[in-house]
């Protein structure tokens, strides 16, 4: 089994013989005996297991809060790791120049104490870590923490007893305490030394983590039985919930070509291993109206670990990025030792969680066309909770309007079929028509008959069909400038 090294409390930690499917939480709690990091759900939902991973990028550190319960331990190899037990013990966390000595607690912890932001305390280590990442990324860079940002950064942490107000108050007050921050210069040196000293023995191929696309494709061909993983926010649950064992893992997240976002004249190319948070940031930069939709994909720790390529390759019919990308007419590039091929995203899928990827192929990047100047776009996610919930229905509508008529329509839908789907009948009902209520009604009717959604624990089939039609009406009203839409005022002829 391969060894694993990372920096913790300013020191390299070396662990021998770590199985490829051992989770980071198992390593912390069971192998190291550090039980401060809690286990609640074991599936990325509650945030009790949140830890912070530090990575060096372009000579500076980035800090990401992630869920240790579904993260494979080897994925933190060569990185820096903090748990709630480390903040007061890490010699690299020091008072900032010009401030007085820090207290016994890190400012994040002290702010939570000051605001009475913990009752039973089970969730608290997770909140501390999400706040620590926010503190490092925001407060230590001189930026204030807004309420909206605090809500976003704590979207993956559940508290069942305290209530969120005091926790959010603490988030907004932590900057008022004497500043403590990671000595990044020293940490970067330590990480560099770790990288130089740590060469994985070539013979050990239980956890393969290539850094180039060529090496990834060679490994995929040489080890077809290896479990391909990216951020493990789907695959991690196969280990923790289905007790599957991965004898060999092929991790795509260090492949340089797959981590890039590049801008071309007519599209943005997003590497398959780009983290969801970064991918959505790039999409929102071009289309600011996607901001809310982007924040409703899981919670921040899942978006910090999961990748856009993982979402697409996993192909869940209730996944959120696919309806969006289908509506944006995105194409996917698949790579194998035989070369590359490009296809429309909707053509990737052949059935429930099945796709056209050959055994030696990987998803390399996603090409997202830039918005046309007359693009009308809305993305709707309907779920039981606002934060960190899976869609019952996801509908994304994109129209190109010219002189009051619909020149082109593309509509992506999730939660309505066995695969993420393109709503071609509804598109046909709109294309070439004047953009008016009659066309809207026809598109709504088409959407209702085009799909036969399932009934499941998230929603009934009838509810899903009704919601699809209502969302088209909402889209119409929003296109007229209405921002507060009461669907009660609408009379829709329901299909039988």
Ligand X SMILES: Cc1cc2nc3c(=O)[nH]c(=O)nc-3n(C[C@H](O)[C@H](O)[C@H](O)COP(=O)(O)OP(=O)(O)OC[C@H]3O[C@@H](n4cnc5c(N)ncnc54)[C@H](O)[C@@H]3O)c2cc1C
Instruction: List Cα–Cα distances, 120 to 140, 159, 162, 163, 284, in angstroms.
Output: 29, 9, 8, 12, 38
Partner touching 346 among ligand FES, ligand X, none, CB below 5 to 8 Å by kind: none
Pairing of strands 393-402, 339-344: unpaired
Q: What share of the chain is helix, strand, coil (3-state, %, to 5)?
A: 35, 20, 40
Contact positions with ligand X (CB under 6 A) in 232-261: 232-235, 252
Region for residue 457 given its phi and psi (left: phi exceeds 0; alpha: psi -120 to 50; beta: otherwise): alpha
Q: Which is nearer to ligand X, 297 or 435 (CB)?
A: 297
Q: State the binding string over 334-373 for ligand X (x if CB under 6 A, else -).
A: -----------------------x----xx----------
Q: Which helix (H) or strand (E) holds 124?
A: helix 124-137
Both tokens assigned to 387: 């934060």
Per-residue buried b or exposed e for 221-241, using 16+ beta carbons within 10 Å of the residue's own CB: eeeeebbbbbbbbbbbbbbbe
Residue of 107, 317, 319, 415 interacting with ligand X (CB under 6 A): 319
Pairing of strands 227-229, 249-251: parallel
Contact call for residue 120 and ligand FES (CB under 6 A): yes
State in angstroms the smallest separation of the CB of 47 from ligand FES: 5
Partner touching 123 among ligand FES, ligand X, none, CB below 5 to 8 Å by kind: ligand FES
Which span (76-84, 139-147, 307-315, 398-406) binds ligand X, by CB under 6 A? 307-315
Name the nearest CA neighbour of 326 among 312, 306, 307: 312
Residue of 12, 40, 103, 178 interacting with ligand FES (CB under 6 A): 40
Q: Which is nearer to ligand X, 90 or 320 (CB)?
A: 320
Which span (13-21, 154-162, 172-180, 283-291) binds ligand FES, by CB under 6 A? 154-162
Instruction: Please give the Cα distance from 252 to 272 (Å, whole number).
Output: 9
State in angstroms the smallest separation of the CB of 155 from ligand FES: 12
- DSSP per-residue letters across 240-263: HTT----SSEEE-TT-GGGG-EEE
Which span (21-29, 225-233, 337-345, 428-436) binds ligand X, by CB under 6 A? 225-233
Residue of 24, 46, 313, 398 interacting with ligand FES (CB under 6 A): 46
Per-residue buried b or exposed e for 135-160, using 16+ beta carbons within 10 Å of the residue's own CB: bbbbbbeeeebeeebbebbbbbbbbe
Residue/partner pairs of 147-152 with CB below 8 Å, 24 or more apart: 147/172, 152/295, 152/300
How many residues touch ligand FES (CB under 6 A)? 22
Q: Which is nearer to ligand FES, 116 or 482 (CB)?
A: 116
Contact call for residue 171 and ligand FES (CB under 6 A): no
Q: SS3 string of 26-70?
A: HHHHHHCCCCCCCCCCCCCCCCCCEEEEEEEECCEEEEEEEEHHH
Q: State the binding string over 60-99 for ligand FES (x if CB under 6 A, else -).
A: -------x-x------------------------------
Instruction: Please give the Cα distance from 42 to 48 (Å, whole number).
Output: 9
Q: Which is nearer to ligand FES, 66 or 334 (CB)?
A: 66
Contact call for residue 210 and ligand X (CB under 6 A): no
Contact positions with ligand X (CB under 6 A) in 37-96: 43-45
DSSP state of 453: P
Q: Which is nearer to ligand FES, 122 or 490 (CB)?
A: 122
Contact call for residue 166 and ligand X (CB under 6 A): no
Contact call for residue 24 and ligand X (CB under 6 A): no
The footprint of ligand FES (CB under 6 A) covers 39-42, 44-49, 67, 69, 118-123, 159-162
**Which residues sit at the interface with ligand X, rule CB under 6 A?**
43-45, 228-235, 252, 272, 276, 297-298, 302, 306-307, 309-311, 313-314, 319-321, 357, 362-363, 388, 390
């Amino acid at each position: 089994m391969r060894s694993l090294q990372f920096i913790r409390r300013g020191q390299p930690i070396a662990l021998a013989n770590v199985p490829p499917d051992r989770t980071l939480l198992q390593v912390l709690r069971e192998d190291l005996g550090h039980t401060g990091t809690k286990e609640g759900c074991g599936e990325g939902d509650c945030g009790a297991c949140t830890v912070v991973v530090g990575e060096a990028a372009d000579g500076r550190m980035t800090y990401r809060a992630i869920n240790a319960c579904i993260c494979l331990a080897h994925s933190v190899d060569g990185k820096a790791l903090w748990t709630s037990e480390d903040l007061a013990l890490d010699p690299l966390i020091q008072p900032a120049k010009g401030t007085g000595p820090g207290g016994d607690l890190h400012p994040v912890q002290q702010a939570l104490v000051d605001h009475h932001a913990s009752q039973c305390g089970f969730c608290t280590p997770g909140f501390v870590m999400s706040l620590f990442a926010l503190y490092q990324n925001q407060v230590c860079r001189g930026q204030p923490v807004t309420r909206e940002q605090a809500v976003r950064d704590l979207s993956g942490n559940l508290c069942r007893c305290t209530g969120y107000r005091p926790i959010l108050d603490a988030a907004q007050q932590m900057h008022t305490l004497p500043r403590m921050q990671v000595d990044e210069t020293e940490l970067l040196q330590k990480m560099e030394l770790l990288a130089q000293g740590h060469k994985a023995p070539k013979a050990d191929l239980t956890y393969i983590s290539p850094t180039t696309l060529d090496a990834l494709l060679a490994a995929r061909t040489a080890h077809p039985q290896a479990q391909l993983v990216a951020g493990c926010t789907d695959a991690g649950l196969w280990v923790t919930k289905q007790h599957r064992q991965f004898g060999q893992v092929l991790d795509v997240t260090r492949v340089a070509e797959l981590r890039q976002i590049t801008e071309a004249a007519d599209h943005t190319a997003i590497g398959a291993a780009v983290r969801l948070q970064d991918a959505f940031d790039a999409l929102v930069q071009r289309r600011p109206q996607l901001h809310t939709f982007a924040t409703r994909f899981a919670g921040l720790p899942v978006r910090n670990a999961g990748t856009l390529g993982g979402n697409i390759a996993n192909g869940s019919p209730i996944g959120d990025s696919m309806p969006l990308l289908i509506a944006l007419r995105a194409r996917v590039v698949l790579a194998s030792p035989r070369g590359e091929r490009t296809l429309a995203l909707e053509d990737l899928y052949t059935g429930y969680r099945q796709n056209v990827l050959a055994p030696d192929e990987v998803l390399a990047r996603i090409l997202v066309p830039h918005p046309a100047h007359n693009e009308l776009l809305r993305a709707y996610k309907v779920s039981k909770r606002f934060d960190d919930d899976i869609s019952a229905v996801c509908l994304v509508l994109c129209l190109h309007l010219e002189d009051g008529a619909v020149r082109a329509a593309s509509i992506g839908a999730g939660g309505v079929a066995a695969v993420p789907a393109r709503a071609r009948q509804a598109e046909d009902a709109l294309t070439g028509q004047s953009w008016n209520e009659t066309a809207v009604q026809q598109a709504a009717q088409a959407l209702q008959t085009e799909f036969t959604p399932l009934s499941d624990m998230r929603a009934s089939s009838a509810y899903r069909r009704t919601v699809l039609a209502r969302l088209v009406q909402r889209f119409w009203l929003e296109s007229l400038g209405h921002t507060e839409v009461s669907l009660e005022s609408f009379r829709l002829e329901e299909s039988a």
